[in-house]
Amino acid sequence: MQHLPILPILIPMLAGVLMLLPPIGNSINRHRFFSVSVMIGLVIASALLLLTSHQQGTQMYVLGGWQPPFGIVLVADRLSTMMVLLTSVLSLGALLYACAGDDNDGMYFHPLFMFLVMGVNGAFLTGDIFNLFVFFEVLLIASYALLIHGGGKQKTKANVHYVILNLVGSSIFLFALGILYGTIGSLNIADMAVKVRLLDEPGQALVKAGGLLLLVVFGLKAAMLPLHFWLPRTYAAASAPVAALFAIMTKVGIYSILRVHTVIFGEDAGALASIAVPWLWPLALLTLVIGAIGVLASPSLRLTVANLVIVSVGTLLVAIAMHRESATSAALYYMIHTTLVTGALFLLADLVSKQRGKAEDRYVIARKMKRGKIIGIAFFIAALIVVGMPPLSGFVGKVLILQSAQGLDEIAWVWPIVLLAGLASLIAISRAGTTIFWRYTEDSNIDIPIAPLRVIAIVLLLSASPLLVIFGGPVTDYTNMAATQLHDTTQSVDALIPGGSE
Amino acid sequence: MEAVYAFCVGALTTCGFFLVLRGRTFTVVMGLTLLSYAVNLFLFASGRLTLDGAAVLGQSTVYSDPLPQALVLTAIVIGFAMTAFVVILAMRSRADQGNDHVDGTVPPPPPRATGSYRRNS
């Protein structure tokens, strides 16, 4: 049990390596069986880790025995374990869907998938920002290869943009790390939070530059407004299970903003307290607006879903910009909901495009789908969830975010923009549904069966939404406690550093 | 030394960003390489520049900070891997699209200021 915090990184890494070797590496069926069983094991391990860190407090895993602030640490608190469990569940769904045939379009789908999961889990669990960079690179290089999986002109084109942007992002990340290390003298998040209070005047200016550079980098990963142009085409070009898994990658950016700008540059940081907030407000609201416009303007279902990801990123950034516990808690609830549902929607869009022949998922009149009913019902439920209709989880999440805006001056901006973005998504998604399911020329004579595994994967991801509502009490209790743990320096900083803030 | 060092890092970064903003994959890859060199030098300098400073205890009276050296080592390895990947991707893109523009299509050349109008019409 002592080694539980490192398991979410070790399990996918070892599984990925093993799958490259014979005898598992020889056949796709062995790959499938092995990776699904590993992923179920990973879900169990993450659930156990969440329970342990919930009951026994923050788990620290000190690699090599070097006590912090020296050496490498993994920190499993309520927020990071929640994100790890979310990753495992989402990737189980995406993996099940891929096992129905999408993984056979190219080589090494399963090992790359495992390395991506390892990178994401590592980014959530790490306790210092240099290792955050390293895990970012691990997940990015796996995602570059996964994005191009299956090949084709569209994928290459999207991948060139994606890779170049992320490489420039990595350079900026390292510049920011250099500035922060040069002035603060530490890269451990908890230790930086302590040392940032003791800086002198010129040091503060440098650290402010470094902190805002980090915001740019995380904004690029999260698709924040001026840096979001890569997202729709990249996600629309990726194959369905990969796009579904990518739904967690924007959340890695959101998580890093939350971690760095509430723990290091939180309320206690003196002159550097909340340096990101004045920037986050306009950018978050404009991200919502541009996402809503994108949703209305998209010509195909996949692009609509990709733009819905931007809307959800905007909503989450608004909640982070509020910079208070209740808003963070609401954001965490919304994050669970939106990640799983957009994942399911990417999978559904792929089912639709497989059924419609040449029309794919574009909003044009085509032949009637033979298997339209079951897809239609799933799409209807998913649409209700994603636009935030009561009684499902999207509604609860949005209400929580709107409620936590009470008492702020910015409420006059938050309420109308969040609600109008919801309306835009509602209009766009109902137009999508009517065109795809109700407008057709003639009955199709080609019957393309749907693999049961695909339906199981989508049901698995969609069932999270009613569960989030039924168990709304315990879930919001948990997110409240996670938000308190993040905002409270005695829990998020002093507990991790021997000697504390003296 | 500090001034020369800072000037070199600044020049590398400027050239890197200029090249990254070009339209062809070759120049972009060159730009990314220059940027990663600039980043590595910058990280190295974040532990302050010392002459004859050993990073190991007991080797000298002047010490240099060992951590940036470890960071640079990691960053170099990652930078090389990423550059290798982007080179292969550029070649793949050249093969798939038939040109080496990052957008996949070569934009038409801008119209000339004078002269060409009358000849075309």
Q: ipTM of this model?
A: 0.89
Kindly report the number of other CB atoms within 10 A of residue A71's CB atom: 14
- What's the confidence (pLDDT) of residue A374? 86
Percent with pLDDT over 70 in chain A: 99
Contact state of A164 with B28 under an 8 Å Cβ cutoff: yes
* β-pairing verdict for A366-368 and A440-443: parallel
- What's the confidence (pLDDT) of residue A440? 81
Contact state of A160 with B102 under an 8 Å Cβ cutoff: yes
**B112 to chain A, minimum CA–CA distance in Å?**
30
Contact state of A157 with B93 under an 8 Å Cβ cutoff: yes
Contact residues, chain B, for A161 at CB < 8 Å: 102
Q: Band of the pLDDT at A499, cuts 50, 70, 90?
A: low
Q: What is the pLDDT of residues B56-108, one digit of tens each?
A: 888 778 888 888 888 999 999 999 999 999 999 999 999 988 888 888 888 88
Q: What is the pLDDT of residues A22-69, one digit of tens each?
A: 888 888 888 899 999 999 999 999 999 999 999 988 888 888 888 877
Closest alpha carbon to A131 in A259, A270, A29: A259
Average pLDDT of A203-231?
Answer: 90
Give which of B25, B37, B39, B99 to mutate to test A binding, by max A Cβ within 10 Å.
B39
- Residue A501 scores a pLDDT above 60: no
Contact state of B35 with A171 under an 8 Å Cβ cutoff: yes
Average pLDDT of A297-310?
Answer: 92
Rounded Cα distance, A390 and A388, in Å: 6
Give which of A165, A174, A220, A234 to mutate to test B binding, by max B Cβ within 10 Å.
A174
- pTM, whole model, 2 decimals? 0.92
- Taking any CB pair shorter than 8 Å as contact, residues of chain A touching chain B are 130, 134, 137, 141, 144, 148, 152-153, 156-157, 159-161, 163-164, 167-168, 170-171, 174-175, 177-179, 181-182, 187
Average pLDDT of A268-288?
Answer: 88
Q: Which residue of B has its CA nearest to A156?
A: B93
Contact residues, chain A, for B46 at CB < 8 Å: 177-179, 181-182
Runs of H (alpha helix) within B21-120? 25-45, 66-97, 116-120
Q: Which residue of A has its CA nearest to B13?
A: A171
* Lowest-confidence segment of A9-13, A304-308, B43-47 by average pLDDT: B43-47
Query: Which of A153, A170, A178 is opposite residue B46, by nearest beta carbon?
Result: A178
Contact state of A168 with B68 under an 8 Å Cβ cutoff: no
- Residue B121 scores a pLDDT above 50: no
3-state secondary structure of A72: strand
Closest alpha carbon to A81 in A458, A481, A359, A496: A481
Rounded Cα distance, A344 and A326, in Å: 28
Neighbouring residues of A173: CB distance < 8 A, sequence distance ≥ 6 = A133, A136, A213, A214, A217
Percent with pLDDT over 90 in chain A: 54
Tokens of B104: 């996949």
Contact residues, chain B, for A182 at CB < 8 Å: 45-48
- What's the confidence (pLDDT) of residue B119? 52
Closest alpha carbon to A161 in A244, A240, A243, A233: A233
